Amino acid sequence: MMGRMSATSTPRPGRGRPARLDPERTVTVALDLLDEVGLDALTMRRLAEAMGVRAGALYRYFATKHDLLTAMAERILAEHALPAAESMASATSATSADSASVPEGPAGEWDERAAALAYALRGALLAHRDGARVYAGTHSFGPGTLGFADALVGVVREAGLDDPDAARGALAIVHFTLGHTLEEQAARGGAPDARTSPERLRAAVGSDDRHPHLRAVLPTLAAADFEAHFAFGLRLVLDGLRTHRRRL
């Protein structure tokens, strides 16, 4: 609530030059540019141009490009994943205070809520071009990231796991989601001229007796239905958590 991200003096309205640059707007423009040109072409110079400023000026608010990328990752989580986490929290307290009258509240059981959070994270990473790569390359400790993580750990704890297992269960969900979205965006956003992934897989494994298993599942892999892949993998992890819970 109070000056979390912007310890740097807030520009007083009307005093001095109207700053063309501030951290919030810089991140906003950077995310727009990311969607336009992709991570590999997102340079400090291009971003400066998009902000009507020279490249050196960006270093007043971000010490390095990596710091800017971290702020972008934080914004992505805060905008797309944190809302789901927060609606979850309010639904939780409502349910615990009034559990009988709301048989299937808006948030549902722990496993439904864990799934909703995983989907929210996937949605956040897919919301911007190369979002997963930006997220994987940085380590934000901002309110969006921490708020989401707290909610996810909370849901797993609620499932009945002890603290170490809850931490590891949440990590498993995050790591699977990260790996999945990384591959999903790599398969989609590839160079527009390059052959698409399914095509290349077909060519590599199509008529070759050395990989009989890959050949058998080729139709599924070539279909590239990433949502179905995600749903299945997530179900495996959540079923695993259920199994673990019963062993208590």
Partner DNA sequence: ACCTGAACACCGTTCAAGT
Residues that bind a copy of itself (CB under 8 A): 136-137, 139, 141, 143, 146-147, 149-151, 153-154, 157, 163-172, 174-180, 182-183, 186, 197, 200-201, 203-205, 210-214, 216-217, 219-221, 228-229, 232-233, 235-244
The token duo for 64 is 């390095």
CB contact at 8 A, 234 and 115: yes
Nearest to 42 by CA among 51, 53, 31, 52: 31
Nearer to DNA, 42 or 121 (CB): 42
Query: Of these partners, a copy of itself, DNA, none, which one is at the site of residue 195 (CB under 5 to 8 Å by kind)?
Result: none
Q: How far is CA 247 from its chain centroid?
A: 31
- CA–CA separation, 137 vs 75, rounded Å? 14
Q: Angle at which helices 143-158 and 82-97 pack, to 10 degrees?
A: 40
Query: Of these partners, DNA, a copy of itself, none, which one is at the site of residue 224 (CB under 5 to 8 Å by kind)?
Result: none
Helix locations, 41-142, DSSP H: 44-50, 65-80, 82-97, 110-126, 131-136
Query: Of these partners, a copy of itself, DNA, none, which one is at the site of residue 20 (CB under 5 to 8 Å by kind)?
Result: DNA
Q: Please tell me the count of residues contacting DNA according to CB under 7 A.
A: 26
The single residue among 6, 32, 66, 179 that binds DNA, judged by CB under 7 A, is 66
Please report, as ranges, the residues that interact with DNA according to CB under 7 A: 9, 11, 16-17, 19-21, 41-46, 48, 52-57, 59-60, 63-66
